[in-house]
Amino acid sequence: MRILVTGAGGQVGLDLIAYLRGAGHEVHGSDISPRPSADALDASVPWHHLDVTKGERIEALLREIEVEQVFHLAAILSARGEKNPGLTYAVNQGGTYNLLEACRSSGVTRVVFTSTIAVYGPGLAEPVGDAVSLQPQTMYGVTKVAGELLGDYYQRRYGLDFRAVRFPGLISASLPGGGTSDYALFMYLDGVRTGAYEAFCRPDTRIPLMYMPDGVRALAELGAADRSSLSRTVYNIAAFSPTAAEIARSVADAIEGVEITFVPDPMRQAILDSWPNALDDTNARNDWGWKPAFDLAAMTAELVPQVRALVKANPERFASHE
Ligand code: SER
């Protein structure tokens, strides 16, 4: 199948492209950022410059490359989004509308959308199921709720086959950029790089997390599932929910002498406190056979050597982060 990934230069995109190509698909990447270097993205993958706030450009690209399926990842994450809510609205909400509209008018049949734990607000019964009240506290969360609802509308109104996962915080050997769940990844990255990390949250902070290989597999599996097996458009997926202190201990077990401290940043801590501790992903398990492969210990065992190799190969790329 021919597939387009938007926001392909972000946290999820390159891993997703590699996974989909491994499954035999022809995959095009697009992003507002330039093409990643050859060590990060195979030279044979077509790359298109795409600003999702420009609807006509999306439509022109879809007509030009004639894809059947789009994975729509382009978005500004939660912490960066609070620094510029207007731009976040334009990119996330406007971008998703533009993308759906371009898919409808150019004949793309299926869209897979990445939603998030940030659609939830405080005070929900744990673990949080799919069909509960959505009261997001960030512009990122607001736009992701709107994206879910728009996709649902396009499915009912126009028959566009729309599917979405609500991702936990994702962790991989890459720089995320602007997420509030990033403290987890930075423990590994800075733990390897400098032997120390000052986390911007309290040690008892607990949110749902997932290792990236599980995340991209979930997207690909939902994208390939039979429509007739899907009872809804948007699915929670879950893996593990450690406290920040538990992640720090896992990192310390794997990296000798590492020192992780906690100095909460009020804005990001408030966002974290508004998210669920744990998600109920029963519907995803029942409808399309979702099952995570990695828990915290398995992730740490695989991730630490990967981060070591990456940091060694590209010391300048990992030298600083937000
Ligand atoms: N990882 C995202 C963020 O922190 C949550 O979807 O914004």
Q: Which residue has the tokens 């199921």?
A: 129
138 lines ligand 1 (CB under 6 A): no
Task: Give which of 114, 99, 101 is closest to 223, Cα–Cα.
Answer: 114
276 lines ligand 1 (CB under 6 A): no
* pLDDT value of position 314: 79
pLDDT tens-digit readout, 117-168:
999 999 999 999 999 999 999 999 999 999 999 999 999 999 999 999 999 9
- Kindly report which listed range (13-22, 51-60, 154-163, 309-318) carries the lowest average pLDDT score: 309-318
* pLDDT value of position 313: 85
278 Cα to the center of ligand 1, angstroms: 15
Q: Which helix (H) or strand (E) holds 27?
A: strand 26-31
Region 14-34: what's the mean pLDDT?
Answer: 97
CA–CA gap between residue 137 and residue 180 (Å, rounded) = 13
Region 192-196: what's the mean pLDDT?
Answer: 95
Asked if 149 and 201 count as a contact pair (C-beta separation under 8 A), the reply is no
Residue 243 CA, chain-centre distance (Å), reads 20
* pLDDT value of position 54: 98
78 lines ligand 1 (CB under 6 A): yes
Q: Which atom of ligand 1 is least distant from the CA of 117?
A: 6
* pLDDT value of position 175: 77
Q: Where do the structural domains in the chain lie, given as residue ranges?
A: 2-168+210-236, 171-208+240-277+294-313
Asked if 52 and 74 count as a contact pair (C-beta separation under 8 A), the reply is yes
- Topology classification of domain 171-208+240-277+294-313: UDP-galactose 4-epimerase; domain 1 (3.90.25)
* pLDDT value of position 315: 75
Superfamily assignment of 2-168+210-236 in CATH? Answer: NAD(P)-binding Rossmann-like Domain (3.40.50.720)
The vertex-25 CA angle with 175 and 35, nearest 5°, equals 40
Task: Look up the pTM and report it.
Answer: 0.96
179 lines ligand 1 (CB under 6 A): yes
Asked if 96 and 71 count as a contact pair (C-beta separation under 8 A), the reply is no
80 Cα to the center of ligand 1, angstroms: 10
271 Cα to the center of ligand 1, angstroms: 10
Q: Which of 89, 140, 183, 211 is catalytic?
A: 140
Q: What is the mean pLDDT of the chain?
A: 96
**Active site (annotated) includes residue 140:** yes
Is 39's pLDDT higher than 90?
no
Q: Which helix (H) or strand (E) holds 256?
A: none
Both tokens of 140, joined, read: 């990122």
Asked if 160 and 154 count as a contact pair (C-beta separation under 8 A), the reply is yes
Residue type at 194 in one-letter notation = T
pLDDT tens-digit readout, 242-272:
999 999 999 999 999 999 999 999 999 999 9
